[in-house]
Structure 1
């Protein structure tokens, strides 16, 4: 079967019976729905000089990182993601804690909900329901509802918008509602360009074909750091691949030494996420790092963010990476939706 046939619309539909690709392509609509859901939750506007803390794990946490990337140097107070059982000691009465768990049952997140309350922080819950929603309502904590029926990682637009809106409500950042609405329009155009009905040489399908059989290492810098992490985790969960991510310029101080030897052990491939509007010094780093990796004999894929605003550029990379990961699953003959390794691990913990 040719590469084009392996990623035809029919082939993708057959390999994706639970509709992960459809959930990914729904991100534009999720953005506008998320704005309504935050507004409907009645989260009070309140200055939080201690900043915003997004407490969560996995797909419920990455929205905090993506929001912080989109806010960038417009932040007025820290916007921090907490992936742990405990909140940091400096989270106190002057902070807002956005406690996010898609299922409402994530044990680390439930522990953070209690810890943030004991610390005197203002809290907001972000969930489909479960124990988190029950505890929040019992303590009169606002609950931002998220639609159920999808994998937690597929709710990334809801998680990101909630973090952006809460950052504005607590004074940690200006309102970026206009940028979110603009991103919904752009992502609608990109979804049409990259969807299963698109040509075999669309950017999403071409990247998947190039990375098939490789062990990807995704690099980000500045605004693209958080999207690089998202790519890595989606390659893990959707693609069922070992994959890693790295940040520039830190990688130039260590990782760059390992590519030649690493290529002898595994089919490493680099993906460089570039922000066309990023600082010249970081873009130069990306260029030189890509050259160094190529000199070590590894294939390198360059990916540029799309859009005029930071929110658009961050979310364009998320949409593309999510589709690439799902298309890689199709090429490998695996269903992108189920995650038996995670479910098995949770069962052993119980």
Structure 2
């Protein structure tokens, strides 16, 4: 399964080469998505966005008619996202951009004439991050007049792939036998992604927490015997983050670049590779999901009927 992550450079390049349908100028943008389709919207907050931006990782949405909605569901059948789109339509939203591989969401986009960006089929959602995020950056460039350099997403992998892979091995080895807690301040969405990847690929407990807030409560756990079961991992942005890491004897993952887009693609690759290496050590099938599909079905029945 690590081969999927090793193809990410190719995925970014393909997403850059694909046509983007006509997108109107946006005054406000709202992102609807959850799980693997939600984290790209969280990461988008790391960019210096030139318009008002709201993120909804739930079926409860609140937008007005002047908002451009970006609705993302890999399967196209995610109940929370479908319910959000229905509510946005009721609130008078006219511009809804859809990113999906098929399902009901694709049917809605085609019937309403919404801009539709297609995702390749046959993968788990988390493996398709390069497509979703590249599409998002390109949508921003087109709808807001921004000039984000999407090639940085490719360069973030190809410039240092060997180093990124080595870091992923180090992290996987440090996690084994411990419960990781990923800490970050400015780069909190990256910490969340590490947590998610370990959870889904390795079927292993992992958490994330925000600095400097954790400095005023959570780090005290490392003074007790119970703290020995955890391995703190810090993704630093400043000297305070580094001071925290030193104090609690944390593992450090330094972002390797000055470019935020290069850091996003590079750090997300580390997270993916580390999680599948951990899964391999635990003799776990990274691509297999057993419980998540069941809650998806139950949620769909509760929200959409069935």
Tell me, yes or no, if the aligned pair for 1:220 and 1:247 is still in contact at 8 Å: yes
- How far, CA to CA, are the matches of 1:134 and 1:65 in structure 2? 26
Q: Deviations over 1:202-242 (max 9, x none)?
A: 222122111111100001111x2111010000010011111
Q: Deviations over 1:33-63 (max 9, x none)?
A: 22233xx2413231x22x2211011010111
Q: Which residue of 2 aligns with 1:134?
A: 107
Which residue is 1:125 aligned to? Answer: 98
Number of the residue aligned with 2:304: none
Contact conserved, 1:98 with 1:166, CA < 8 A, in 2?
no
Task: State the SS of the aligned residue for 1:175.
Answer: coil
Q: CA deviation at 1:348?
A: 4.4
TM-score (norm 1): 0.81
In structure 1, the partner of 2:23 is: 44
**Compared CA separation, residues 348 and 117, structure 1 to 2 (3 A):** closer
Matched, 1:233 2:207: no
Q: Distance in 2 between matches of 1:187 and 1:33?
A: 14
The CA deviation at 1:193 is: 4.4
Give the Å deviation of 1:194. 4.8
**Residue 293 of structure 1: aligned partner:** 248
Deviations 1:2-23 (A, max 9, x none): xxxxxxxxxxxxxxxxxx3111
Within 2, Cα distance between the matches of 1:188 and 1:124? 30
Partner of 1:95: 67
- 1:144-166 CA distances to partner (integer Å, 9 max, x unpaired)? 00101111010111111122222
Is 1:209–2:173 an aligned residue pair? yes
Quote the residue 1:79 is aligned against.
Answer: 53
Matched-pair contact (CA < 8 Å) for 2:74–2:100: yes
1:52–1:167 contact (8 Å) kept in structure 2: no
Match of 2:135 among 149, 162, 170: 162
Q: 2:260 aligns with which of 310, 313, 329?
A: 310
Q: How far apart, in 1, do the equivalents of 2:272 and 2:183 lie?
A: 16
Does the alignment pair 1:221 with 2:200? no
Give per-residue Cα distances to partners, 1:286-335, cap 9 Å, x unaligned: 122113323xxxxx210011223110012211111111111000111111
User: Which whole-Å CA distance do the structure 1 matches of 2:61 and 2:281 have between them?
Assistant: 41
Distance 2:125 2:41 in 1: 14
Change in Cα spacing, 1:190 to 1:150, as seen in structure 2 (3 Å) is: farther
What is the correspondence of 1:1-350 to structure 2 with a 5 Å cutoff?
Answer: 20-37=1-18, 40-46=19-25, 48-49=26-27, 51-69=28-46, 71=47, 74-88=48-62, 91-121=63-93, 122-171=95-144, 174-176=146-148, 178=149, 180-194=150-164, 202-222=166-186, 224-261=187-224, 263-264=225-226, 267-275=229-237, 283-294=238-249, 300-349=250-299, 350=301
Q: Check whether the contact 2:164–2:266 (CA below 8 A) recurs between aligned residues.
A: no
Contact 1:65 1:80 in 2 (8 A): no
Instruction: Return the alpha-carbon distance in structure 2 between the equivalents of residues 170 and 306 of structure 1.
Output: 30
TM-score by length of 2: 0.91
Mapped to 2, the partners of 1:311 and 1:228 lie a distance apart of: 15
Whole-angstrom CA distance in 2 between matches of 1:77 and 1:313: 23
CA distance in 2, matches of 1:163, 1:99: 11
Gaps of 5+ in 1: 1-19, 196-201, 276-282, 295-299
Task: Verify the 8 A CA contact 1:23 1:150 in the aligned structure 2.
Answer: no
Aligned pair count?
Answer: 299
**Which residue is equivalent to 1:11?**
none
SS in 2 for 1:242: coil
Decide whether the 8 Å contact of 1:235 with 1:243 is kept in 2: yes
- CA deviation profile, 1:159-207 (whole Å, cap 9, x unmatched): 1112222223332x7221x2x2133033024334455xxxxxx222122
Give the match for residue 10 of structure 1: none
Distance in 2 separating the partners of 1:186 and 1:164: 15
